[in-house]
Amino acid sequence: MIGERVNGRAIPAPFYALGAIASVQIGATVARRLFEFLGPAGTVFVRVGFGALILLAMARPRRLQFVTTQWRSVVLFGLIIAAMNLCFYESIARIPLGIAVTIEFIGPLAVAIAGSRKALDFAWAAMAAAGVVMLSLTGGKVTLVGVLFALGAGAGWASYIVINQRVGRLVPGADGLAFALLVGGLALAPLGIAGAGPRLLNLRNLGVGLVVAILSTAIPFSLEFAALRRLSSQVFGILMSLEPAMGAAAGFLFLGQRLSFRDLLAILFVMVASAGAAATAERPPAVQDVP
């Protein structure tokens, strides 16, 4: 796991969560540059495949035999991971990263307020919906297909949170997620091979894909594990609400994607709604990063 001290001083607990967010978004910018060579499908295949190998090495599962109920949940989990990541990469191939992340964030926000009867939660939902509508109506740089893929990624993220809780109960430690990533990589293989072809054998492309997997899987996994040991799920959920802003910043700094004032205001709406829902929920589920 990531070291817990720098120059002999303890790292403040929120920095683990913020580091995980930053790593995921930087990984997305590196992946976006790889689209030119592998396309979204080829890139997500390499990312999830390497991610599975990394997590299997980190988790070092001691047994491969699961009962039928466990395998069903793990396979479903893997298919959700594959669909979620494919939709997200297809989205950022068409619309700016900050906008895609913001629209996708509707998924975990919906999970956080699902079943609520409080008027305040309906207000958070309305604020988030307003933000998404504002982003969807942005002219020029936003396409309908890109928005639909981002919404698909959001639905996948919501499903990921729900099924992850089930897998966590059925399979000890990180074994379930590790094997689910392996299933996801296998599911993505036909699309990745069809999309990238022989370019998948290029060592440079594989090297960049490995970097994406490290930034998007290994580092966030370690940092989130450390954060959740030190922070309440409520605080963790509030910190995760910074993800859209981090995505917008990463897109601007590393991809040169400029957003209008209306875009930034819409992102702020979703962030405030997410933080508000996490802060006022009685038992908020931790918003987990995309593996």
Tokens of 105: 């964030």
The tens digit of pLDDT for each residue in 166-210 reads 888 888 778 888 899 999 999 999 999 999 999 999 999 999 999
Query: 36: domain range?
Result: 13-280
Q: How far is CA 259 from CA 35, 97, 127, 231, 249, in A?
A: 21, 10, 20, 32, 10
286 within a domain of the structure (yes/no): no
145 within a domain of the structure (yes/no): yes
- What pTM, to 2 d.p., does this model score? 0.90
pLDDT above 90: percentage of residues in the chain: 63
Which range has highest mean pLDDT (134-138, 148-152, 178-182)? 148-152
Q: Rounded to whole angstroms, how far apart are CA atoms 113 and 274? A: 9
290 within a domain of the structure (yes/no): no
7 within a domain of the structure (yes/no): no
289 within a domain of the structure (yes/no): no
Question: Using 50, 70 and 90 to split pLDDT, how confident is the model at 7?
Answer: low
Q: Give the total number of structural domains in the chain.
A: 1
The tens digit of pLDDT for each residue in 202-248 reads 999 999 999 999 999 989 988 988 887 888 877 888 889 999 999 99
| Pure H helices in the chain | 13-59, 68-92, 97-104, 106-113, 119-136, 144-170, 175-196, 203-213, 219-230, 233-240, 243-255, 261-280
Which range has highest mean pLDDT (35-44, 155-164, 232-241)? 35-44
272 within a domain of the structure (yes/no): yes
148 within a domain of the structure (yes/no): yes
Q: Rounded to whole angstroms, how far apart are CA atoms 168 and 191? A: 29
The tens digit of pLDDT for each residue in 248-266 reads 999 999 999 999 999 999 9
64 within a domain of the structure (yes/no): yes
